[in-house]
Amino acid sequence: MAFANANISDILATTIENRSRKLADNVSNNCALLKRLEQRGKIKTFSGGHKILQELAFAENANSAWYSGYDLLPVGASDVISAAEYTIKQAAVPVVMSGLEMLQNAGKEKMIDLMEGRIQVAEKTLANLITDGLYSDGTGSGGKEIDGLDAAVPTTPTTGTYGGINRANYTFWRPYYASGTTTTAANVQGQFNLAWANLTRGADRPDLIMVDNNMWGLFMQSLQDIQRITGTSEGKAGFPSIKFIDADVVLDGGLYPGTGTGATTSTAYFLNTDYLHYRPHASRNMVPLSPNRRYATNQDAEVQIIGWAGNLTCSGQQFQGRLNGA
């Protein structure tokens, strides 16, 4: 198969390669949760392995004790560290150009205009795919989707296996969940107070509360008669936010709520992002799958595929919570 213009093909490949870092940044800027994880240094790549391991402390050191003078101190082995394990999930979006399009856009400037448009669409598509997946339970697309917040903070917190750990067997691996009482503007702050109290341990407390359109509207109504305090960092990042105690309440709804994309309907996620981690693969974080040309075997066309691999992980289930407004 004779290809239309090899030089233009090189431009397509190198343009995507050069934009890879920008694409990775755009994904984090597309979601308030990822932006917060980036700010707190919780975006960490991994370089290989069958699964992603996330270390966690599941118990206190049993050797702690009060003592006086020459009392003997306990020095027995204390097994307090383990790891949750997460499957490596993959996502990709192709940028396709036919030989005819390359001939029609043979001028360098015309070619770049066409490429820029296609690449920008691909970037937004992949960013939306990943950020929508951050709300999933990991079962979408035959179990290929990210293990998102519906997996990390489910509506059945005492059952199911997450990160390779069975919640039925380990109470430390159970998030907080509250539902059953209809949420209104009159009681939403009381429900937030209860969720906050159940997720606070000393300095450990929620720092980010992700809400959909419905929950945002009720919470805003409850604040009509009192001072509103906005979160400056999230505001600068482009996410509407308001303070609850010292956590940012962030609207992460969508244009089409209830269609299965974006924030979960009538839900508030109380997140302690010290224990949440975004783990892309070091060699597959919004990059072309191959710097070489990919040709269709029976078509005059070239495909460059932008790929991602990784998952969302958690190292402290007991510090995450969820409020469902019935």
DSSP annotation of 288: E
Whether residue 73 is contained in a domain is answered as: no
For residue 313, pLDDT over 80 is answered with: yes
Whether residue 64 is contained in a domain is answered as: no
Whether residue 72 is contained in a domain is answered as: no
Whether residue 279 is contained in a domain is answered as: yes
9 against 262, higher pLDDT: 262
**What is the count of structural domains for the chain?**
1
Q: Picking from 41-45, 73-77, 180-184, which range would have the lowest pLDDT averaged per residue? A: 73-77
Whether residue 62 is contained in a domain is answered as: no
Helix (H, G, I), strand (E, B) or coil at 267: strand
Burial of 268 (0-12, 13-18, 19+ CB in 10 A): buried
For residue 296, pLDDT over 80 is answered with: no
Identify the pLDDT of residue 160: 92
Helix (H, G, I), strand (E, B) or coil at 216: helix
Mean pLDDT of 309-324: 92
Find the helix packing angle between 20-29 and 108-133, rounded to 10°: 40
Whether residue 139 is contained in a domain is answered as: yes
Angle at 56 between CA 193 and CA 48, to 5 degrees: 125
pLDDT digits (tens, 9 = 90+) for 157-212: 999 999 998 999 888 899 999 987 788 888 999 999 999 999 998 888 999 999 98
Q: Which pLDDT band, with edges at 50, 70 and 90, does 152 fall under?
A: very high
DSSP annotation of 319: G
Mean pLDDT of 201-227: 86
153 against 257, higher pLDDT: 153
Tokens of 293: 């040309």
Range of the domain at 117: 6-56+84-324
Whether residue 254 is contained in a domain is answered as: yes
Instruction: Answer for the pair 47, 307: CB distance below 8 angstroms, yes or no.
Output: no
Longest dimension (CA), the chain: 88
| Distance of alpha carbon 224 from alpha carbon 185, whole angstroms | 10
Identify the pLDDT of residue 21: 56
Tokens of 43: 């975006």
- What is the CATH classification number for the domain harbouring 183? 3.90.1690
62 φ, ψ (degrees, to nearest 5): -70, -5
Helix (H, G, I), strand (E, B) or coil at 279: strand
Mean pLDDT of all residues belonging to the chain: 79
Q: Which pLDDT band, with edges at 50, 70 and 90, does 302 fall under?
A: confident
